[in-house]
């Protein structure tokens, strides 16, 4: 490593340390961080590597980001890993993704850091659309961490927010038709409780990587008053300083909640 590279590393670490201190010292805290992890494929194409390698690097990045959020002390982390629309991708790519989910969920469930920090792992989405390999790994991760409640790590797989809301509407309609739920009792709270995220707070901050500025059917109801932050970097290139910059931006905004 040359002198300029070493200096760059030192400066980078100094910036990260400064940002971390600012994040930790600020009175405004992120309680629930949601991330749309976008750009694995474009990172692979730009780097002239196989798409599967791009997805693997993206998986490894998620492990690091989970560590960073634990370091900051964010109680809720939710990531968008696979949308219902993504299930239309080529079979070979889906096979790679499913194998990575199986591997990643089992690694997380066995990771001492997960147990030391008491992280509960949960998966939300249309599980019936996922292969047995992935569902078995989901069961394994959820059962091994079911008793924890200090941190909650939620992975959205085969997830679509419109589908989620349709399921909630069907639940409300069924309960009303059976006489269990009065029409006047159907309010925002009733809807929220019947979403996949019924026991979770709404996200404070939503980050999307890769430069795309849309939310792509992710937590549409829950994101009503979330602060949005769009990062230009592809997900595999997302760095600690990028996370801290997003949080600092959030901390400097005044949340109005429709006021």
Q: Which is the catalytic residue, given 9, 25, 38, 139? A: 38
* Separation CA 73–CA 24 (nearest Å): 9
The structure tokens listed for 171 are 């639940």
Q: Which is the catalytic residue, given 67, 86, 202, 217? A: 86
The structure tokens listed for 3 are 């002198």
Is 92 designated active site?
Answer: no
Best CA proximity match to 87, nearest among 170, 166, 168, 163: 163
Helix (H, G, I), strand (E, B) or coil at 90: coil
Best CA proximity match to 252, nearest among 30, 14, 17: 30
Helix/strand/coil percentages in the chain, nearest 5: 55, 10, 35
Best CA proximity match to 102, nearest among 68, 59, 39, 143: 59
Is 40 designated active site?
Answer: no
Query: What are the beta bridge partners of residue 67?
Result: none
Active site (catalytic) residues = 38, 86
């Amino acid at each position: 490593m040359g002198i300029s590279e070493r200096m760059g590393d030192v400066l980078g670490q100094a910036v990260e340390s400064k940002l971390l201190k600012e994040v930790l010292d600020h009175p405004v805290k992120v309680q629930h961080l949601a991330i749309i992890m976008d750009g694995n494929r474009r990172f692979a194409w730009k780097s002239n590597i196989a798409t599967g390698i791009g997805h693997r690097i993206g998986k490894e990045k998620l492990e690091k980001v989970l560590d960073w959020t634990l370091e900051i002390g964010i109680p809720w982390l939710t990531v968008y890993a696979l949308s219902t629309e993504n299930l239309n991708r080529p079979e070979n790519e889906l096979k790679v993704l499913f194998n990575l989910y199986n591997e990643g969920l089992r690694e997380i469930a066995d990771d001492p850091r997960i147990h030391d920090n008491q992280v509960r792992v949960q998966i939300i989405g249309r599980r019936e659309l996922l292969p047995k390999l992935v569902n078995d790994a989901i069961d394994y991760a959820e059962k091994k961490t079911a008793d924890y409640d200090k941190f909650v790590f939620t992975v959205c797989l085969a997830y679509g927010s419109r589908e989620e809301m349709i399921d909630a509407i069907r639940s409300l309609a069924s309960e009303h038709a059976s006489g269990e739920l009065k029409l006047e009792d159907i309010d925002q709270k009733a809807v929220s409780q019947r979403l996949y995220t019924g026991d979770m707070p709404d996200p404070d901050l939503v980050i999307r990587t890769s430069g795309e500025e849309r939310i792509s059917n992710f937590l549409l109801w829950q994101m009503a008053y979330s602060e949005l932050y769009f990062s230009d970097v592809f997900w595999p290139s997302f760095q600690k300083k990028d996370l801290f910059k997003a949080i600092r931006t959030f901390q400097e905004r005044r949340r109005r909640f429709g006021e």
